Structure formats: C-alpha cells, structure tokens
Structure 1
Amino acid sequence: MTADVGLIGLGAMGKGMAQSLRRAGFRVHVHDVRAEAAQAFAGDGGVACRSPAELGAACDVVVSVVVNAAQTEAVLFGPEGCAAAMKPGSVFVMCSTVDPVWSMALEKRLNALGLLYIDAPISGGAAKAASGEMTMMTSGAPAAYARAEPVLNAMAGKVYKLGDAAGAGSKVKIINQLLAGVHIAAAAEAMALGLRAGVDPAALYEVITHSAGNSWMFENRMAHVLAADYTALSAVDIFVKDLGLVLDMARASKFPLPLSSTAHQMFMQASTAGFAAEDDSAVIKIFPGIELPRKH
C-alpha cells in the first residue's frame, strides 16, 4: 500500500482524522470546499488538492468525511469527482451517516468501476478524532480491508468489522444516532425542567453527572448549555437529518419508534425556530419560560 492517503472534508471530524493520519506517517492529501482549510493543513505538512479528482489520482485510499449522501455523490461523481480519477483497486472509505440502502448501492457502483469500498461511519466527536481514538463502524469486502486497514487503524481507536459487504456499518451507525439524538433531547428536557423549577443549573449538572441518571450526552452537551456556548460541533440540523434516517429505516419494516419520533420533532422545532446551525444542545431553546445560563 502506498504511503499516500487522501481525505476529503476538513470539518470538525475530518481535520482531526487528517492529523492522525499524518502522525502515523502517511503522506496526506486533502481537499475541502474551503480552500483555506486545505492550505492551512498543507502548511503544517501535507498536500492541498484543488479537487477530489486531483486527490483521487494521487492516492490508493480516499477517505470521505462530508456531511451526507448528496455531498458524497458530488465528491465521487461531480464535475471534478474522484471516482473517474482513482486507479483500479483503490479504496473509497465513506464516513458519513447515510441510508444503508444507498450505501449498499454505492458499493455496487464503485465495484463496477473497478474500485473497492468500505462503509465506515464514525463516532466519538472532534476531540477523539484529533487523538486518533474515535470509533469506526465498518463493513466491506476483505480485499478492501487488505488495502485500507492500516489507514483505518491510524484514525480510530476502535475499528469494528461488521460484515463483508456495505450496509452493516451504516445500520449500526443509525442505531447509534437513535440513542445519541434521544439522549440529547432527554438531557435538554431534564435541564429545562430544572431551570423552570428554580434549581441552580451548575448544581444540577454536578449531581446528575455523579448519579444514575447521567449519560455521556448529558455530561457533554449540558456543559455547552452551562457555558452558553452553542458553537456547532454537531449542529441541530445534523440530528434533523440523522433522526430522519433512523425513522426512514424503521418505516421500511413498519417498526415503531415513539421516542425517536418525538426527539426528531424537537430538533425540527429547534431548526425552524432559527437554531439550525447552532450546536445540537441548542434544542433546549425550544422550551418556553426558562432562563438559560448566559456567558460570563
């Protein structure tokens, strides 16, 4: 396997993943719609590419860390997409949260072009991506793993192999997003009730994070609320999308998801109220009659 690895999408997760690959000794080629982001990464060591096609031509493994299926389509098959430029036998690693049926179809499309594919959604947040300790939920053909496994291991602390064909990774990620979205919505509801009841929010946070009612999402996201910092690490609209995918998957088999449906409506309400691009903890802003903590 070549030392040249490409990464497309230098957002909160992608930037850290690119840094992890560089630390592991790979020559990392990057592309982002924000040219300045790619140039900044190249300034610290790396190669900035003007297009996905330029990146794909130089690399045997291409990692895509864009938002959704539509952006992945553009990366691969757009006017300067990388699919046509990648050498036969190269591997495309798809890290977005997408419909599993779409991911399975993408594997077939890429195989028809002589390319290998790994369905590889990610979890863990920006800090774990930067430290190389995130989780990857992967599935793909053995030949794809044979070429890309060192790349996956350089980016993640846990690389789960969930099947020998695309789709399994995306299914597990969607179930993870069900829990993540419901936990954030429940955490916001609990903090909002505490505020309405006149409980000191810092004291409530201290008690809950040391009690049985705690969750990783309560501990992480309600810290954002206490700091009155809604800078988007994962935006409200991410969970509008992801919980929508959860409901789509369940609807296909007529499976009821009452908690997911409610959480989805909460994020929809926050989005339409003007908080779409804020951190997903801003879902707490939908509750009336509460005074949220302010920045000091």
Structure 2
Amino acid sequence: MSNTATTLGVVGLGSMGRGAALSALKRGVPTWGFDLNPAACATVAAAGGQIATSLADLAAHCDAVVVLVVNATQTEQVVFGDGGLARHLKPGSVVITSATVDPTLPPQWEARLAEQGLHLIDAPVSGGAAKAANGEMTVMASGKPDAFAAVGGLLDAVAGKVYRLADHAGVGSTVKMVNQHLAGVHIAAACEAMALGIRAGAAPDKLYEVITNSAGNSWMFSNRVPHILAGDYTPLSAVNIFIKDLGIVLDAARKLNAPLPLAAAAHQLYLGTAGAGFGAEDDSAVIKLYAALTGITLPARKDAA
C-alpha cells in the first residue's frame, strides 16, 4: 500500500474551501469537511462528503488537511490551538495551509509541525469560488520534497494548476502576496475607471462591453464589474479581505525597503470604503466610495422591489 495521502480533509467550507471539497468529491477522493456553518457543511454532505464533529474527529480520518480559513490567526488556531490538527493527526500526515498570510509565517509552521512528524505545504490558492467548485483553482505551493511525496495527488484533485515553487515553505505565500498586490490594485482601478466613465456620461453596460474587448481589460475588470452592473454587492470577496491582504503586502514591502505607491493608494481606497460602511460588502463596492465623492448614480439591483 502506498504511503501517500488518500483521504482529504478541508477545514473552512467558505466559498473556496467548499469548492475544494466539492471538487475533490467529484474526482472520487474521500473527503471530510469541518466548518462552524451548518449550511456549508450540509452542501458538502449532500455531495457525498463526511462532516467531522471536531478538528480531532477530522484529523482521525484524514491523511492530508487543507486549511482554508480567513487569516493567519485562524490558521494557527486550527493547526496549533487546543484540540487543533497538530495534536491529532497521525505522523506523516500533511497540513496544507491556504490562507493569504505573511510569508515569514509558513516556515515557522513548517518547523513546528516537523517536530511532531508532520509535513506542511504552504499552498495559497487563487481563482475565485466558481473555479474552486470546478476544480480549476491555481495553487501556489512550496514545501519540502517529502511533503509533496506524502500528499500524493490530492492537490491535483482540488486544482486546475499546481505550481511547485520551492523546496521550503514561504515561497508560495510570497507569490500569493504578489498576486494580491495586483488583484487589489486592479479591482480599485476597475472601480475608478467605471466611476469616471459613468461620471462622463457613458452607459455602464456598454462601457463594460467595450473595455472587456479592448486592451484596457483585466481579469478583475471582467470579473468584478458585472457585480456593479447588477447592483449586487453580495460579498464573494469582501472589501475587508483586501484591507487585510494589501496590509500584508505593504508590511512586507516596508521590511524590504520596496516602494509600493500603487498598492498604498489602493489600500487607502479600501480603507475609505470600509470607513463609509461598506467593508463587509463585495470588493467591487469600492465604486460606492467614488459615488459618494462624485454623486454618480450606480446601477440599481435588478431584483430590487
């Protein structure tokens, strides 16, 4: 019998974690989930997954566990807290941390887990909820060769692309940090550009159609502007997430003496949007800050009474 992982656990069944679990199940991987949200658990259970009653319960059944929670604090609590994974996983198991975190943290987690005979793969993800559900996420992974050998094909079961970036933890989070720099700036730029066009009298839907077929387009413009056109700011990724993520980017840049004026300006826009009361809304709500500043009228929600 191979010593590679065969049963996957997913802690955190939000949009990305739920998608990862559903993707693994579609590909025939025995999958356990854990989340405090009963509705998220029910979705995974309905697809054939098993739902753990605790982290210890999940650890007892799984060879590898993806931790897809919000931030570093939650990751550390899940992995190292009382009743956490590190206390209950069998030796040789793999912890896959996927939250966007300070790149200096995964190497510390890797060393702590190694002391207990456990592996770590630093594996942030990108692609959004739809790609997660379809098994098309991009995984930016780094870790020791033994960790990749132990995890077997489980990363491939939840992703369209798995990039193995280095033989030690931290590089995956570095690459994700760069991705979040660009994503945060691109969303802010998309909102600013749409606000400019609306202010100047362009029809928002026509503006979107033209830009998505022109050189000024970006993935974030084509993905986020439809939320604005629909007047639907239900948070698929919230403004507050980019306050956190661009904060990580700027903190790292300060340590490296690397100037990031565009990231700093975007961060201020997210802070301003949150300050205006929209922090829990979709990150495309940055355009609401521009609306408040300029008086433009944004598209109304289509299903509004």
Aligned to 1:243: 246
Aligned to 1:295: 301
Residues in 2 aligned to 1:64 and 1:23: alpha-carbon distance in whole angstroms: 19
Tell me, yes or no, if structure 1 residue 91 matches structure 2 residue 97: no
Residues in 2 aligned to 1:152 and 1:68: alpha-carbon distance in whole angstroms: 20
Residues in 1 aligned to 2:267 and 2:54: alpha-carbon distance in whole angstroms: 35
Tell me, yes or no, if structure 1 residue 252 matches structure 2 residue 255: yes
Amino acid at match of 1:294: A
Aligned to 1:119: 122
Identical positions, percent = 56
Aligned to 2:69: 66
Aligned to 1:274: 277
Tell me, yes or no, if structure 1 residue 56 matches structure 2 residue 90: no
Aligned to 1:92, what secondary structure does the other structure show? Answer: strand
Unaligned runs of 5+ in 1: none
Tell me, yes or no, if structure 1 residue 172 matches structure 2 residue 175: yes
Conserved? CA contact 1:54–1:82, under 8 Å? no
Residues in 2 aligned to 1:39 and 1:269: alpha-carbon distance in whole angstroms: 36
Deviation at 1:46, TM superposition (A): 1.4
Aligned to 2:21: 18
Amino acid at match of 1:51: S
Conserved? CA contact 2:35–2:41, under 8 Å? yes
User: Residues 142-188 of structure 1, C-alpha deviation per residue, up to 9 Å, x if partnerless?
Assistant: 11101213000111111001000000000000000000000000000
Residues in 1 aligned to 2:252 and 2:135: alpha-carbon distance in whole angstroms: 30
Conserved? CA contact 1:35–1:50, under 8 Å? no
Residues in 1 aligned to 2:89 and 2:211: alpha-carbon distance in whole angstroms: 50
Question: What do you get for the CA RMSD once the two structures are aligned?
Answer: 1.0
User: Residues 64-107 of structure 1, C-alpha deviation per residue, up to 9 Å, x if partnerless?
Assistant: 11111011111112232111000111000011100010111111
Deviation at 1:55, TM superposition (A): 0.5
Aligned to 1:146, what secondary structure does the other structure show? Answer: helix
Q: Tell me the number of residue pairs that the alignment of Structure 1 and Structure 2 aligns.
A: 296
Residues in 2 aligned to 1:12 and 1:51: alpha-carbon distance in whole angstroms: 20
Conserved? CA contact 1:38–1:49, under 8 Å? no
Written as runs of structure 1 = structure 2, the 5 A alignment for 1:98-247 is 98-247=101-250
Unaligned runs of 5+ in 2: none
Residues in 2 aligned to 1:204 and 1:271: alpha-carbon distance in whole angstroms: 26
Aligned to 1:100, what secondary structure does the other structure show? Answer: coil
Deviation at 1:53, TM superposition (A): 1.5
Conserved? CA contact 2:240–2:279, under 8 Å? yes
After the TM superposition, list the runs of 4 or more consecutive aligned residues in structure 1 that deviate by more than 6 angstroms.
Answer: none
Residues in 1 aligned to 2:28 and 2:288: alpha-carbon distance in whole angstroms: 44
Aligned to 1:83, what secondary structure does the other structure show? Answer: helix
Q: Which moved more, 1:37-46 or 1:5-14?
A: 37-46
Residues in 1 aligned to 2:116 and 2:57: alpha-carbon distance in whole angstroms: 18
Residues in 2 aligned to 1:43 and 1:234: alpha-carbon distance in whole angstroms: 25
Deviation at 1:2, TM superposition (A): 4.8
Residues in 2 aligned to 1:119 and 1:277: alpha-carbon distance in whole angstroms: 27
Residues in 1 aligned to 2:285 and 2:23: alpha-carbon distance in whole angstroms: 30
Conserved? CA contact 1:6–1:62, under 8 Å? yes
Aligned to 1:67, what secondary structure does the other structure show? Answer: coil
Residues in 2 aligned to 1:142 and 1:94: alpha-carbon distance in whole angstroms: 16
User: Residues 10-56 of structure 1, C-alpha deviation per residue, up to 9 Å, x if partnerless?
Assistant: 10111111011111211111000213422342233111111112111
